[in-house]
Amino acid sequence: MTFKFFDKLSQNFIELINDKDDYNVIIEIENKEKSFTAHSNILKYRSPYFRKELENIQPNENNIKTIIKSSVSAQIVNVILKYIYGGIVNLENVEIRFIFDLMLAANEFELKGLTNKLETHLIDTKASWLKTYFSLSYRTIFKENNFENLENYCNDIIVKHPNIIFNSSDFASIPESALVSLLKRDDLQMEEVKIWDYVIKWGVFQNPTLPTNLEEWSKENFLTLKTTLQQCLRYIRYFLFSSIEIFDKIMPYKKILDKQLWKDINRNLAAPDRPVKSIILPARSALVTELPPRIEEPFSTIISEEHAAEISSWIDHKIINYSTTNIPYKFKLILSGTRDGFAPQTFWNICHGHAKTVVVAKVKGTDEILGGYNPLAWDNTYNGLLGWSKWMKTKDSFIFSLKNCNIQNSILNRVKNSRYAICKVSKCYQNEVGPSFELFHLYSEKSDFTLDSMNYCGGDFREKSSSSNYFSIINYEVGPSFELFHLYSEKSDFTLDSMNYCGGDFREKSSSSNYFSIINYETETNVSFIISLKNSNINNLILSHVKVSCKANNNYSESFGDDLYMTRNRSFRIYNNSSYEKLIRKTTLNR
């Protein structure tokens, strides 16, 4: 029989990190402002990196060797040393970005076991973060070229869902080598004309001095773009473009193509069966699989599930944030700048009538994520008789700055004067003004939020200092959250407490409370209605669709048009005012 005391052994070795008597190595970090002591024998046998470093460093007069490592933070070095000494890594209550950076550091210190473990952990449990910050993840692992599991994971996603990287807010910042590797793929699932558009976008972004108006470009401007894209252009399937696509998309940039290629493109249009001198690449193959696994694209390219949980907690006035597995709201993107455009009028056209919406914007140059929550419905019908704008009253709206890779803390700023919470913009100004909160709004005199720095953020809810309250953005999104029915548990199990909520009083069976426990649940839908299903005890199914979408919600904390709303004494009132299909109950029920 063998007795093993690894836990005690591990703890004793970890205590050696703080031993100031017998150490013979000093690790200096953060520009020599902080340091750790260590023992050369342990470092050499646990890390090939430290073995090589220590062999090349001469000791001082006290026989102590000093390793300088300025690129790694003190927090990460502390975790690395605890792993080296005790084989323990504690990831409780740490940011996902820290785990990602820890993986990079583990690779740098040649700790293969820890690197592989963190890779697997990120893929298995933090997939949403990897997708939200896909460009960052992809370009980092691509540069290191030492993360096989993550490379395979990213490549599988890119092949099936190229929009995750091409539509990401930081697509234009990916390395050239990463973009070229995508263009080489014969199985890239994207139309060739769209690939061309993204390649041009990437090339222009690399040269910010190029004129925004293509008609103003000189020969030197085209030569600059051609030089930038010389490794990319050879992988475009030019001979798959239609005549209209060639005329609309390629012809404006024909000066960046080789003369022979442009001649062959035109010759192929006139006589498709005749040979050309240029290389004709094969068409990209369409993936055909039986019963493909369901792979959901992220609901946002700006915020992560952790952000969604934090925003949900603010909506519900929670002191402790929801976990990512316990978010009571379904976030669904209804507008994306990269998909729908950045014109202010587009916002009013798409978001009109939508209530309980979250607006998020990514600031150009700082990567700040600013946003606001509007419980009321956006309304594009105001004619401006009383001025260019009209304030809407609510006490439940707020604006915020979210933590991300560069910002350490999220900042919440709730509305102070409920009379000036949300701005209803006159029709004649909707081509310049977008979503507007009291201290945060999107605005552009060029009808594009990305082309000028007229967007505004006042107050003190931005952690990152700025010389101006005005800024430009690289992307923005609007998505609603639905509050009529949600599952919630403070015990992380919907069956263990009665915190699940069903509002609107549309259950046939009477109950003294709208809160309940469940024995099972299934949910996977994008339709906007609520139901009460018949069974052995319930005779009839009750279903009520909204008829007037812009009146689905009103200016109440919990309301559905004027058909169903909560009064000040916390009771539901039901009236049949035709916003919804039918009267669902005649009585008033106290919540």
Boundaries of every domain in the chain: 6-125, 176-270, 305-480, 484-591
* DSSP letters spanning 6-58: HHHHHHHHHHGGG--SS--EEEEETTTTEEEEE-HHHHHHH-HHHHHHHHT--
Residues 506/541, Cβ–Cβ less than 8 Å: no
Look up the pTM and report it.
Answer: 0.48
Task: Give domain 6-125's CATH superfamily.
Answer: Potassium Channel Kv1.1; Chain A (3.30.710.10)
| Rounded distance between C-alpha atoms, residue 293 and residue 295, angstroms | 6
| Rounded distance between C-alpha atoms, residue 8 and residue 336, angstroms | 53
| Rounded distance between C-alpha atoms, residue 363 and residue 77, angstroms | 31
State how far the alpha carbon of 48 is from the alpha carbons of 53, 74, 104, 111, in Å. 9, 21, 16, 8
CA 114 to chain centre: 27
Burial of 555 from C-beta contacts in 10 A (0-12 / 13-18 / 19+): middle
User: Which tokens belong to 51?
Assistant: 């073995």
Residues 6+ apart with CB under 8 A from 185: 158, 159, 284
**What does DSSP assign to residue 83?**
H
What is the total residue count of the chain? 591
Nearest in space to 104 (alpha carbons), one of 133, 136, 147, 62: 147
CA atoms 209, 215, 218, 222: torsion sign: positive
> pLDDT tens track of the chain, all 591 residues?
888 888 887 887 888 888 777 889 999 987 778 889 999 999 999 999 999 999 999 999 989 999 998 888 899 999 999 999 899 999 887 888 899 999 999 999 999 999 999 999 999 888 878 877 776 788 788 777 688 888 888 877 777 778 878 887 778 888 887 888 889 988 888 999 999 999 999 999 999 999 999 999 999 999 999 999 999 999 999 999 999 999 999 999 999 999 999 999 999 999 988 899 998 899 988 765 443 444 455 678 788 888 888 999 999 888 888 887 778 777 778 898 888 889 999 999 999 888 889 999 998 888 789 999 999 989 998 887 666 788 899 999 999 998 876 667 888 999 888 888 999 999 889 999 999 998 888 999 999 999 888 888 876 655 544 557 888 998 899 986 544 444 545 555 656 666 554 544 444 444 455 456 666 544 333 334 544 555 555 566 656 666 555 555 543 334 554 444 444 343 444 444 455 555 555 444 444
Beta sheet of 500-502, edge-to-edge order: 485-486, 500-502, 515-516
| Rounded distance between C-alpha atoms, residue 97 and residue 105, angstroms | 12
User: Which tokens belong to 60?
Assistant: 């001082």
**What does DSSP assign to residue 490?**
T
| Rounded distance between C-alpha atoms, residue 447 and residue 425, angstroms | 15
Decide: helix, strand or coil at residue 329: coil
State how far the alpha carbon of 422 is from the alpha carbons of 161, 376, 402, 441, in Å. 36, 8, 20, 10
Q: How many CA atoms lie within 13 A of 180 on its CB side?
A: 11
| Rounded distance between C-alpha atoms, residue 372 and residue 356, angstroms | 11
